[in-house]
Amino acid sequence: MPTSSHPVRCPRCNGVMVYERFQDMLDLFYAWRCLNCGEIVDPVVAKNRGMDKKPKKRAVG
Backbone angles phi, psi at 30, to 5 degrees: -115, 145
What pTM, to 2 d.p., does this model score?
Answer: 0.68
Mean pLDDT, residues 1-13 taken together: 78
- In the chain, domain spans: 17-49
Q: Is 60 exceeded by the pLDDT of residue 57? A: yes
Percent of the chain with pLDDT strictly greater than 90 = 49
Identify whether the C-beta of residue 17 lies closer than 8 Å to the C-beta of residue 45. Answer: no
In this structure, are residues 43 and 33 in contact, taking their beta carbons and an 8 Å threshold?
A: no
CA-based radius of gyration for the chain:
14
How do residues 18-45 score in pLDDT, each as one tens digit? 999 999 899 999 999 999 999 999 888 8
Quote the CA–CA distance of 38 and 29 in Å, as a whole number: 17
